[in-house]
Every structure is written in C-alpha cells, then in structure tokens.
Chains A and B, each alone.
Chain A
Amino acid sequence: MPAFFMSGSRAGRHPANLRAAVNPSPLPFGTRIWFAWACFFRALFDGQFAARVWAVREAPALPPAASAPAEVAPSPTAHDHPRTAPVSSDPTPALQLLALLQREGRFVDFLQQDIASFPDAEIGIAARVVHEGCRKALRSHAELVPVRTEAEGARLTVPAGFRADEIKLVGDVKGHAPYSGVLRHRGWRAKTLHLPQIVGEHDSYVLAPAEVELG
C-alpha cells in the first residue's frame, strides 16, 4: 500500500534527459506505463503538478519559447517535463487521505487486520461498513469520472496522439495508430480532489489517535 504514495522517491530513477526534451520522440511503452502510474498519483496529490499538467493540456500549441521550456511541454503527447529538479514529495495529502478514509470508513483498520481466519460472511459485513464510509468520504472529497464513457466491451478506435496516461494498450500490442480494440476497463480520473486544510500543530502521520476512555 505505501508504495502507491511514493512516486516522489522514485523520481531519482526517472531518466534525467527526459525533462530537457524540447522536441521529444515518443517514449518507450514501458516508460509510459510507469509514467502514467506516477502521474496519476502525483496529479492526485500535488496540486501544483496537476496545474502544470493541466496547463499543458489546455495550451498544446503554445510555443516552447513562450515560457520556461522545462515547464511547458511542446506537444500534448509528451508528458515528460515534471521533474525539473529532484522533488521531495510532501506526504501530507496522502496521510490526510488515509486519515480521512480511516475516520469515515475504518479503512486502515480493515487493511491492517489479518482477515484470513474470518468467514466470508463476516468480511462481507465489515466490507459494508468500510464501503459505506469510504465511499461517502471519497464522494465528498473527490469527483471521480471514468476516463472513457463507452460501455466496457465496446469496440473503439484509439487515434494517433492518444495520451498514454489516459489509455493503456494491452494484449497483442503492436503496429501503429489508429488502434482498434475492445474497452476492457473504463479507467478512472479524479476530476477534483479537495482535502481538509491543516491548521495548528497537527501531526499528519497520526492517522487515527489512540482512544483512552476515562471514567
């Protein structure tokens, strides 16, 4: 689980030459898979990063000279600019999200408990509590929409220049765009995410305080 939130620390492994690319050639597929994954979480938790990517998406035709080359990628297919410097990712939003899911839906309790010895019926009951609470928490803090609106199982054509973080080609991957295939998973996109503002001296690493009942 924690690995989900460690995109920042993986930055060091990311090829450094990518961020300097002004006139990029397409990335290798494996890199793109990794990158799509990293971008998802970084966009989710790093508002500034998300804003920069958003700007790239909104202004694809902007000439590189119009702003710092490292900040604006020249084409929408090249999402290769984010690491302008080694980033020390702030884990606070991730910790907040865990705390939120724990508070509203006992998420951490559920994942931390060894459920192997419990019958399915009991796990099902617990799942209801976790599902109901976490779903409510998620819905009130994030707007999640499918990446593709077609029904799963539908045939669709993926045109040239598609965004690798939005669409992952699977199966017999070969040839050139446009690709024709069957939608297997609609994907998810977080349209918005609002996390609580932290005030006072709050230790975000405490996901849930210990509770001591007096009296």
Chain B
Amino acid sequence: MSARFAVGIDLGTTNCALAVAPIDPANGAEGADRTDARPRVFAIPQLVASGQVEARPLLPSFLYFAHESDGPQALPWNAERRFAVGEHARSRGVDAPSRVVSSAKSWLSHPTIDRRAGILPLSAPEDVEKISPVEVSWRYLEHLSEAFDAAYGGGDNALAQQDVVITVPASFDASARELTVEAALAAGIENLTLLEEPQAALYAWTEALGDAWRRQVRPGDVVLVVDVGGGTTDFSAIAAVEKDGALDLVRVAVGDHILLGGDNMDLALSHVVRQKLEADGKSIDRFQQASLVHASRVAKERLFEDPHLASAPIAVASRGAALLGGMLRAELTQEDLARILVDGFFPNVPADARPVAARRGALTQLGLPYASDPAVTRHLASFLGRQANALATLGLAPETPGRLLHPTALLFNGGVTKAAGLRARLVATLDGWLASDGAPPVRVLAGGDADFAVARGACVYGLVRRGKGIRIRGGTARAYYVGIESAVPAVPGIAPPVTAMCVAPFGMEEGTEAHLPAHEVGVVVGEPATFRFFGSTVRREDAAGAVLEDWGPGELEELAPVEVTLPAEGRREGDVVPVHLRSRVTEVGTLLLEAEPRTPLHADEHWRVELSVRGGASA
C-alpha cells in the first residue's frame, strides 16, 4: 500500500498543526482536493468547551485529565475518553491548572529527568495517574491521527498509511528525537520522518514563492532562520552552494535549545500591567491573571500593528456574573512595549554579547530549564559567534574569518516574529554586527507564514522526499561522544577524568553508518552499562572514533546518559565482554547506537544502546 498523502505535523510546544497534500494530485483519493496539490492546513476537530467540538487549524498542546465530576470528554470518534486535548484543555488550564499538562515538548527535551516516567502534570492531585512526557506527545499525535481518520475516512486514507513528517526543533538532541519517534510509533504513525523546524520553515517559504525563490537565494547565500515560537527559540543557518551546476542547500549550523518564546513575553507584559494595577491598590486573583495575560497579548498585537497608536486599553473582568463593578482597567503603552519587549527581549547588544548564565531568573517555573537570559539577541550573538567557522567545511568561508557567522539572508518564523517592531530591532542589531565585521547587511526573505509554515513545510518535505523539489542536506546537527572514564586511582571528592570518544561525526547523513575503529569498551554481561553521553554543535572535524582528552569551554554539552545491557544468553553472567560501538543515522532521522562484541557468538551479533535513559536527577 503506497501513501496517498504527504502529511506534515508541527508538534509544537504550545500549538500543534497539520498540513496535508495529495502525493499524486491527478490520482487523488476520495475526499482529497483534486485540483490543488499544495499543502492545506487541516482543521482539527477538538473539544473547545464541555460537550462542544469544533474544527480549528491549531490544536493547543495541552492535555486535561478530566475529574470524575466532568464526565467523559467525548469526541465524535470516542464517547468515553477521560482526558481532553486542545482548546478545552487549554482553558481548563486556567480553571483547574493542577490537572493540565502544558509545555510537554520542553519536558521531552529535558536531559536530566526520566522522560519515560509518569511525571506530568507536575502537581497533579492523587486521582490523576501521571503520564510521561513521551506519552503526552503520543496523546497529541493520537488525537491528530484520529481527527485525520475521522475526516478522511480511515482505511487507505488513514494517517497511519500516509507519509508523515513530524517536525522537531533543530536543537533537539538525539534522544529527544528518538523519544518523539517513540511517541509517534505509539500513536500508530510508522511511516515517519523527522524534520527540523527551521528547515520546514524554509521549505514552506520556497513552496509559497514557487520558482521565484531561486531569484532570492543564490549560491553563496547563508540563510539564517530565526524561529521564535510560543515556548522556544530556535536558530539555524542554511547555506546555498553550487553543486554540479545546480543549487544545493546545506544546513550548516543549529543553535542550542532555548526555552524562551512568546509566552515569556506575554507574561512579562502582564506583570507590568499587574504592577500598574497594584499601584492603584487593586488586587488580582489567578483567574484575572490569566485574563490579564490574554488581554496583554491582544493589546500588544494591536500596538505592534499600529505604531501610531500611543496606548491600548486593557480591561479585565472579575469572575462573577456581575460584569460591571469589578472591572480592572489599565493601559499598555508603546513605551511599555518598547521597554519590555523590544529592549527587554531584543536589546541592541554588541556582537560579542553572550547570554547571562545565571540560573533561575524571574521567568522560571519549577522543573523546566527556562533560559535565564530573556534576550533573544544575546542568544543569537552567541549562536553566530560559536558558529563563526561553520562554512569552513563547505569552502564558503571568507578569506579572513570574522568574529561571527555572516548570514546574507534572514527568514523569520514563529508567532513572535509577526510583530514588525521586533523584526526591525533584530534586523538592525544583526546588521550592526555584520557592519562591524565588514559584512553587508542581510536581506529579509518575505512571504513566510508565521503560524503554519512549519506544518506546511513538513508536508512539502514529504513531497520533496519523493523527488518533487530541492532538498536541504545537513545530516546530524551535532557530533556525538561517549564519555569513557579513565582508569586512574580513585581520589575522594574528585571525579575521575573523562575522555570523550566520537561515536557519530557532525553532519552524518541519513542512512549512513559509522564504525568506530580500535577503541573498545568492556561491558559486564547481564548488567546495564551506562555511559555518559555528549553532543557538540561546533566540533565539525572529529571523525568517528576520535578521542578527546580535553575540549574548549562550551564545546561539549552533556546529554542524558546512554545504556546497554548484554543479555546473558550464551555468556556467563558477570563476564566482561569487549565491544565496539557503531552508529547509524536512520532514514527516520534518529541516531542508532549499537554495541558489537569483538568475538561475536554468531554473525552480526549486536545490541542496541538505549539513548535517553533515566537521568541522574528527577524533576
């Protein structure tokens, strides 16, 4: 059975979206739009209030565990469901926050928790059986899958039968990618590929422009994708090179995982408005605080839309049925906007500015490693500075390397970048850095679609994989290393020194394999062997098997440990078996590590090394 549709799923931190296109429009399936082969955003049926189902283009990434008093959270395809996903779940997050899971995707990429353990919602009451970050993603995908099947009739049109592309942040490490695949498999989506969100945004942009995009991106260009969504900020650099006379796109660098987005900004605005209200002697309850965040967002959008508007009113109603009498009123001014959002989140900093590393700022919430520095521009400066040499391997680097990577074009993505004021500040700041480095300013690539580009682009990628259009190459966004503790006498209080062996080089392409020469590790039969695991977004030269005795500050980032257990079959428990490690990047886009005994008992004997095993600390 071959797929009828290419389906792109944006599995977002705050919203999910799904786009679909017929693979062969001339031979479209029933229910398909025969005339239009372009990706269409699918309206996702979801509970929007108790007992009310509505199809909306965005599925808020919230999960609500119904209380016994709520009754079933019925859907047209399942009358007995005990939980709700989507808009109703989001609004229950205001009324009954302890029963609602939000930002599950940030938990999925949390390196120091067990992401397969039931931990969410964090402060759930006793009657709620907590579920794992993986299961939350599974539930979102399951909802999308069921909604798709309800609309398209299932059978050969079922989502499980289609070519599905699910997007992940470029900054997701190997284990977060694998856990995303795990969630998809649990939801019955097997015909699956992962795609990095900034790449998806670029695919969507090329699709929206048709062939015209080739006039805007030429060989030698470096496109910087700045993706500021609701919960995360993601940077990628994609270079255009000429290969055999044709244009080739190569993703050359990705940024770190930054938990910073529009939600932080709306929260910051609401705090300012709250202070104004409290200065007037008003007090605000939890319900009003949620309304305040919403009202601040609306006022913000209005002010950004019309820069001549001096201020926008904010009104928040009290909870009871009497609307008048308990209303709170404040103003949000352009000045507030400029001070809090433009200067607060997009300060005009020099190119050598770096994020403040202090932990636990004002914007943190228990458990999640939110960015402690709210300045997107400082994170961007750090990314470009770290990636100054990203083009060297492509032969594109300038003769005198600058202090930072020089993008020539800029593509915005994510809801925050809809605000012209914020875009302008970011461009001005970036142009300043480029000028100080003797490089020309960037061209902004217009025509993006901030809300749905990622889902559309994922769908486009599904078609591209079938040969319909140009494909962005790039391979793994990191090099991966296994930590090997040196055999030295133990010294109390001092951790034994660790060397890092590269198990997967930077830019390893899908479908390729790397054998590690020489180095062996010994594994005890029948006992799990755990290795420290590291990733690097900057070390491009390390080949598989390379051993690092030491490395520069920030070059290697420690990830969740990996683990392998050798079954006792055919061997004596307790024996130490020397193994080689080998790595493979699957067609899906995940990293597979395997341990191969030096003296196999039978041909091709090997064991899988599990990524993202339980971390040291719990949440």
Query: Chain A interface (Cβ within 8 Å of chain B)?
Result: 96, 99, 103, 106, 109-110, 112-113, 115, 118, 122-123, 125-126, 128-130, 132, 194, 196-202, 209, 211
Contacts and interface: CB of A to CB of B under 8 A. Distances in A.
A201 B45 CA distance: 18
Interface stretch (B68-76, B227-235, B474-482): B68-76
B52 A96 contact: yes
Interface in B219-247: none
A199 B81 CA distance: 12
B325 A199 contact: no
B325 A118 contact: yes
A124 to B, nearest CB: 9
B598 interface: no
Contacts of B329: 125
A113 B324 CA distance: 8
B95 A202 contact: no
A79 B59 CA distance: 41
Contact of A200 (B51, B54, B317, B319): B51
B315 A129 contact: yes
Interface string B540-566: 000000000000000000000000000
B322 A211 contact: no
B120 to A, nearest CB: 20
- B interface, how many residues as a size bin? 20 to 34
Given A113-B322, A125-B313, A202-B52, 15 more contacts: A112-B321, A128-B315, A129-B315, A129-B316, A129-B327, A130-B323, A196-B48, A196-B54, A197-B54, A197-B76, A198-B53, A199-B47, A199-B51, A200-B51, A200-B74
B318 to A, nearest CB: 10
Interface string B78-90: 0100000000000
B323 A126 contact: yes
A108 to B, nearest CB: 8
Which of A125, A130, A209 has the largest count of B CB atoms less than 10 A from its CB?
A125
Contact of A198 (B52, B95, B319): B52
7 contacts: A99-B49, A109-B322, A113-B322, A122-B325, A129-B327, A199-B51, A202-B50
Given A122-B324, A126-B324, A196 B319 contact: no
A209 to B, nearest CB: 7
A126 B49 contact: no
Which of B52, B316, B323, B325 has the largest count of A CB atoms less than 10 A from its CB?
B323
B317 A126 contact: yes
Nearest to B91: A103
A196 B325 CA distance: 32
A129 B317 contact: yes
Contacts of B310: none
Given A106-B317, A126-B327, A132-B298, A201 B71 contact: yes
A164 B69 CA distance: 51
Nearest to A202: B51
Which of B48, B53, B315 has the largest count of A CB atoms less than 10 A from its CB?
B315
Nearest to A214: B96
Given A126-B315, A128-B313, A209 B50 contact: yes
A96 B319 CA distance: 21
Contacts of A197: 45, 52-54, 76
A209 B88 CA distance: 14
B75 A125 contact: no
Closest 8 CB pairs of A and B: A202-B51, A200-B74, A196-B52, A196-B54, A199-B74, A109-B323, A197-B53, A128-B315
Nearest to B299: A132
Contacts of B75: 199
B547 to A, nearest CB: 57
A209 B50 CA distance: 10
B279 to A, nearest CB: 18
Interface string B20-51: 00000000000000000000000001011111
B56 to A, nearest CB: 8
A109 B321 contact: yes
A100 to B, nearest CB: 8
Contacts of B52: 96, 99, 196-199, 202
Nearest to B285: A213
Contact of B327 (A125, A194, A199): A125
A37 to B, nearest CB: 28
Contacts of A118: 324-325
A103 B71 CA distance: 20
A3 B508 CA distance: 70
B72 A113 contact: no
A199 B329 CA distance: 37
Given A125-B329, A129-B315, A196 B324 contact: no
